[in-house]
Every structure is written in C-alpha cells, then in structure tokens.
Amino acid sequence: MIPFHLNDEWNLISRTIVPVVSQSAIAPGAGSQSGIGDVVQSFFLSPQKPTDSGLIWGVGPVLLLPTDTNKLLGAEKWGAGPTAVLLWQNHGWTYGALANHIWSFAGQSDRPEVNSTFLQPFLAYTTKDAWTYTLNTESTYDWTHRQWSVPINGMVSKLVKFGNQPVSLGGGVRYWAASPDSGAHGWGLRAVVTLLFPK
C-alpha cells in the first residue's frame, strides 16, 4: 500500500495485490501450476484525517490486470469496477470492511466473463511491539456462476524493517467455509508479505 499526498485534505492510496500461486489437480488432468496470478490494483481517495467518530474511509476504482503466467492461474480478462474501504482504530484494535466489484470488459473470448463481488470484513489487534492478530474473510460471489467462495483466515504478522523499508511478514491458517465444487476445500496455510510506505 502506497499513499500519495494530494493536498492538505486528501490522500490517494494505491493498493496492489500480486498473487503468487502454486496449485495442483484443480480439474481432472489439469496437473500442477505455479506462478503469478492476476494483479488486482485499487486506488482509494481518502481524507487526510479521520471523521469525528474515528472513521477512516476511501473510495475509488479497482482494476483486474491479466498478468497470469499460466492460463489456469488467472481469468485471462481485463476488468474494472468500484471499491471502498471503511475502518475504525481504537486502543490497538482495527475493524471494518473492504469491498469491490469487478466486471470484465476485454480479454480472451473463450474464457468466462468476470462479474464478481469481493467482501473482506476484518478484525485485528496490534500489540505495542508490532505483532498483529487478524481474523477476516476474503469472500467472493461469482454472479456469472452464482457461487460463493468464503475462506476464513486467522493470521499473525510482525512489522519489521529491512534497512529503512517497513515490511509486514505474516502467516496463518485458512478454512474454506464455502467454495465451488472445483474450488479449494477444507484447511490450508497462508503466507503474506506486505510492503508499507507510511507518510
């Protein structure tokens, strides 16, 4: 996440998700794939200061970029739509939600259209020595196939510095509460690296 100072009242915040994927047997005869999936790029216009109630918010566009290194790791589509985030912070607690909706508008004609809603409610607690404990979901509803994917994540992360660059390193477990027949099921592990650029 990278904030850009626009003026005394507004910031533009860039949020880039680059998935690194390793998967196997997602369909009969599909074999295994490893590589980069589709990048999801969001921009949030956000006030410099929280509201009187402590609310921090941002709205803007989200873009789906077909950067997959293997056709089974991405949608092979260009997409766009709106995104928004709401959150509050109080005594170490952070809670709120992020949402977006993406429609495809170009890409491989033989691949299904993208028409999906993403919902990420979250609850996190950060200690004074920069450990963060997080519970969230990263739920997606596929309007084309009318299917939910609902992973529930429990994560632990630590803020560290490499030189002057702050980085959040985290890991945890994921349980799939709902998923398509061809999707992931049961328990899994997750690792996350987040580069931070505070102002």
Boundaries of every domain in the chain: 2-21+33-195
Residue 16 has pLDDT above 90, yes or no: yes
Residue 40 burial (10 A CB sphere; 0-12, 13-18, 19+): buried
Residue 27 has pLDDT above 70, yes or no: no
Q: What is the mean pLDDT of the chain?
A: 91
Nearest-Å Rg of the Cα atoms of the chain is 18
Provide the token pair at 40: 């999801």
Provide the token pair at 182: 């061809």
> What number is the average pLDDT over the span 96-108?
96
pTM beyond cutoff 0.95: no
Alpha helices (H) along the chain: none
